[in-house]
Amino acid sequence: MTGFAAGLRGPLKWPREITAGVTLAALAIPLNIGYAQIAGLPPVVGLYSAIVPMLVFALFCSSRQLVASPDAPIAALIASLLTAIAAKPGSPQYAELAYAQALVCAVVFLLFFAFKLGFLADFLSEPVLVGFIAGLAVEILTSQVKKILGIHTTAERFFPELWEIITKIPQAHPWSVVVGVATMLVIVVLRRLAPALPGPLVALVAATVAVAWAGLDRHGVSVLGHVPSGLPVPHWPSITLGQWAALVPGAIAICAVTLADGLLVARRYAEQRGYRLDADTELRAFGLANLAAGFTQSMTVGSSASRTAAMDATGSRSQVPSAVCALVVAVLVAFFSGVLAYLPNAALAGIVAVAVVRLIDARKLGELWRLRRSEFWIAVVCLLGVPVLGSLTAVVIAFLLSAVDVVRRAARPSTAVLRPGEHGRYVRGDTAGPLTVYRFESQLFFANAGTFKTELARLADQGARWIVLDAGAISDVDTTGAEALRESADKLRERGVTFAVSRATGGLRRLLAHYGLTDLTHYDSNEAAAAAYRASRTAADDG
């Protein structure tokens, strides 16, 4: 059962759900316009994304609260990816590529659903996600600062552009700065004093009224301009086959971010509110929503953590607000799009800036620095890589760094050497005794097979005559690990050292039998092996 249907079966408070939907529309309208501008698309494209795609997701998802919408990371990814294909933002071809990007994302999501790959969300590590999203936020903030200052830059790379912005601050348009900064202050103040109010909408309305009343648009404050009226119509993107293929890597990156961020948010609220979430159903919903986006001249949609949190704060427990939001936005673009022409761009930039600055999780970066420096540097590389190298290159590098870090740690697993101490007890030590228990607390595979062989040889060099491998923590052995185990056993046997495996689980026993290493687990094959087995059991009991 979908989240929409499940929510309707419960005791809904319809006034609350409808009010939440109006609030969601008040948040979505300014933010979707701002994110469309970030993506290099016309404002109406962002509004269209809050109609059919949002409604489709609400009907087919399993979450009762997750809001599907364009968000800052996706908008920045679209801009980065489409610009890399040499399309000019604002051009008709650029918009066609954006619609096609949504369709390619839909195919990727639906393939993930078909092959039940929702679990892949767990493979995007937190440092990668924290750094990647923070990097996108830095990139977005840079573009919004230019709009607030009312300046233009010519530099194409991040640091030269940042320097150009700094040097052009004296040339900033004062009224644009006033409008942008005032908008941000209103949002921040309302968030603290009246969190129930839709701060972005209140700030945008106030800024629009102020600009119109004072005639600031005639004094250099840029406004949104004409927004076409009418509902979206079915449309097939007109691009070449080569361009379709070029969109695939970007679609995978967008889907990866949505998987990690969206599913984590959805799971968090499902656990808090006591209902079951199906990750694969969410993949299908994202796929169908983006299919609708591509066919209705909308931009790619993912998850919105901020809007989901806002809906939860209103007390909403269903997808009814998404349906109400879609209806409100549809009425706006059909009958009242003319009023959008007077929205000041500096105010829209201020709204987006306040929204994305929260994506830079300084607290989490500080935790990574304190808890694990290697993961902190992975996050930093990803953070700097997004604006400097591009989003796709940055996430690939971050994934590679994560993989290297995992292999590095796996290659040096936690081990322990136990030897007889006083009163028949076994104690930890760095050197071996005549009877030594060796604990290997990891799976045995290609990355740590060399360490395994070196450690066993070292114990034999220190005079161990009986060596027992405590395999209680070994969950798997690959072919390289099996060869290392066989080679070590043979070499120890040649040196007159008795070697046996203790505490192997049933699965590990079957795996060793598959590799032809059954003799290592036959503890009663001789008196020495039996004594070594009993010693390892005693050592294990003693911890």
pLDDT of residue 413: 82
Letter string b/e over residues 407-423, b meaning 16 or more CB atoms within 10 A of that residue's CB: eeeeeebebebbbbeee
Q: In degrees, to the nearest 5, what angle opens at C-alpha 244 toward C-alphas 241 and 248? A: 140
Same domain, 345 and 486: no
Q: 404, 436, 464: which is the final residue of a domain?
A: 404
Dihedral-angle region of residue 303 (phi above 0 means left; psi in -120 to 50 means alpha; beta otherwise): beta
What's the Cα-to-Cα distance from 316 to each of 4, 67, 194, rounded to whole Å? 12, 12, 18
What span, in angstroms and rounded, lies between the C-alpha atoms of 55 and 206?
Answer: 29
Pair of tokens at residue 75: 């908008």
Same domain, 440 and 295: no
pLDDT of residue 226: 83
Letter string b/e over residues 156-183, b meaning 16 or more CB atoms within 10 A of that residue's CB: eebeebbeebeeeeeebbebbbbbbebb
The answer as to whether 107 is a domain residue is yes
CATH number of 502's domain? 3.30.750.24
The answer as to whether 409 is a domain residue is no
Dihedral-angle region of residue 527 (phi above 0 means left; psi in -120 to 50 means alpha; beta otherwise): alpha
Helices 345-357 and 72-84: crossing angle in degrees, nearest 10, is 110
pLDDT of residue 488: 92
Same domain, 376 and 459: no
Cβ proximity of 523 and 492 under 8 Å:
no
What span, in angstroms and rounded, lies between the C-alpha atoms of 486 and 86?
Answer: 56
Same domain, 400 and 424: no
What span, in angstroms and rounded, lies between the C-alpha atoms of 401 and 378?
Answer: 6
CA atoms within 13 A on the CB side of 280: 9
Cα Rg, the chain, nearest whole Å? 30
Pair of tokens at residue 42: 């016309």
pLDDT of residue 525: 42
Pair of tokens at residue 222: 């840029």
* Total domains, the chain: 2
Same domain, 238 and 352: yes
Strand-pairing partners, residue 470, are 439, 502
The answer as to whether 90 is a domain residue is yes
Using DSSP's 3-state secondary structure scheme, residue 205 falls into helix
pLDDT of residue 528: 46
Same domain, 400 and 420: no
Instruction: Give pLDDT < 50 ranges for the chain.
Output: 523-529, 542-543
The answer as to whether 410 is a domain residue is no
Domain that holds residue 482: 415-542
Same domain, 358 and 435: no
pLDDT of residue 123: 65
Same domain, 313 and 421: no
Same domain, 209 and 284: yes
Using DSSP's 3-state secondary structure scheme, residue 362 falls into helix
The secondary structure of 506-524 as a DSSP string is HHHHHHHHHTT-GGGG-GG
CB atoms within 10 A of CB 450: 12
Same domain, 429 and 522: yes
Cβ proximity of 172 and 151 under 8 Å:
yes
Q: 342, 369, 404: which is the final residue of a domain?
A: 404
CB atoms within 10 A of CB 507: 10
Helix residue spans in 391-478 (DSSP H): 391-411, 449-461
Same domain, 475 and 389: no
Pair of tokens at residue 488: 């070590």
Instruction: Find all residues with CB under 8 Å of 299, minimum gap 6, and list them.
Output: 35, 36, 39, 41, 45, 46, 49, 70, 74, 75, 78, 98, 101, 102, 293
Q: 385, 404, 423: which is the final residue of a domain?
A: 404
Q: In degrees, to the nearest 5, what angle opens at C-alpha 202 toward C-alphas 199 and 204? A: 105
Q: At which residue do the structure tokens 């800052």 appear?
A: 72
What span, in angstroms and rounded, lies between the C-alpha atoms of 314 and 70?
Answer: 21
Handedness of CA 532, 534, 540, 543 (dihedral sign): negative
Specify the DSSP class assigned to residue 503: S
pLDDT in tens, 247-264: 998 898 888 888 877 877
Specify the DSSP class assigned to residue 67: P
Same domain, 439 and 393: no
